Amino acid sequence: MWVYTNFDCNLACDYCCVRSSPKAERRAIGADRLQQIAREAADAGVSELILTGGEPFLLNDLDDLVNSCTDQLPTTLLTNGMLFRGARLERLRRMDRSRLTLQVSVDSATPAIHDSHRGTGSWAKAVTGIRIAHDEGFRVKVAATLPADQIHELDPFHDFLDTLGISREDQVIRALAHRGVSDSGIELTVDSLIPEVTITADGVYWHPVAADHDDQFVTRDIFPLADAIAEITRRFVEHRRAADRAAEWFPCA
C-alpha cells in the first residue's frame, strides 16, 4: 500500500507524475491519519507500506510518521536523498533501521542525464545521500526513471549502482509515464495497470503513478481501509472480466 505523505518538494522534476514542486500545496496526510492507515493496513493483510511524496523529508514530524508505520509493517520511504543533514539527519537517525528501507531516486550513472530532469547538482547530492544512508545502517534501494527506449541499455548504470553497494534486487528501473508534468512516456490507464492501493490526503487512488489524476480516483473515504481495498479489488475483477469477454475466439480457419 502506497501513502503520499505530502506533495510539496524541494525539486521540480520535469516528469513528476503528481506535479510536485516547491510551489505545490503540501496536502499532508497528517500523523493521526497515517497512524490509523498503518494500523488498519496491518489488520487488512497489507504486507508493506510505501511512503512517498513530494519529498517526505520536508516534513518536520517525519520520524514520528515513519515510526508509526514501522511499528505496524515493514516500510519503504521514497526520497530524493538530498536533505540528510542537520535536523533532518537527526530525524533519519531516529527511524527503525530493522523495519525501514530508503528508496532514493537516481536516473543515470553520471550527472548529465539526471540533472537535466531534476536540477543542476541534484545527482551529486543524491549519491551523497545514498552513502550517508548506508553509513547510518539503512538498506537502500535506488529507483531510476528512464524513457522506454532506454530501458534495455542499462549495463553501465547497473555497474555504477554496484559500486555504491546497491544490490541488484534493490535496483529498480521504471519507464517514464505520460502523467503529471511529463509531456511524453507510456500511457498508463486503469485498464492497463494492476492496482496498487494508494492513499493521499484527498482519498484513495488506483495506482501511485496517477495519485493526482481524476481518471484513477476511487473514493474519498479512506476509512474503513478494508472497504477501500475491497472496492479496488471489486473494480479490478470487473476490468479483468470485461477484458476476457472482449477477447473472444474468432476462428477463421
Nearest CA to 162 among 93, 109, 230? 109
What's residue 162's pLDDT? 97
pLDDT digits (tens, 9 = 90+) for 124-167: 999 999 999 999 999 999 999 988 777 766 899 999 999 999 99
Find the helix or strand (DSSP H, E) in which 155 lies. Answer: helix 155-163
What's residue 166's pLDDT? 98
What's residue 250's pLDDT? 64
pLDDT digits (tens, 9 = 90+) for 55-114: 999 999 999 999 999 999 999 999 999 999 999 999 999 999 999 999 999 999 999 999
DSSP letters along 104-145, please? EE---SSHHHHHHHH-TTHHHHHHHHHHHHHHTT-EEEEEEE
Q: Identify the three-state secondary structure at position 215.
A: helix
What's residue 243's pLDDT? 83
**Which residue type occupies 214?**
D
Instruction: Look up the pTM and report it.
Output: 0.95
Domain assignments of the chain as residue spans, ordered by start: 2-246
Taking every pair of C-alpha atoms in the chain, what is the biggest distance, in angstroms? 72
Distance separating alpha carbons of residues 72 and 221, to the nearest angstrom: 22
pLDDT digits (tens, 9 = 90+) for 187-237: 999 999 999 999 999 999 999 999 999 999 999 999 999 999 999 999 999
Residues 211, 201: contact at Cβ < 8 Å? Answer: no
For the domain made up of 2-246, the CATH class stated in words is: alpha beta
Residues 108, 145: contact at Cβ < 8 Å? Answer: no
Residues 102, 80: contact at Cβ < 8 Å? Answer: no
Distance separating alpha carbons of residues 116 and 106, to the nearest angstrom: 12
Residues 46, 58: contact at Cβ < 8 Å? Answer: no
pLDDT above 70: residue 249 = no
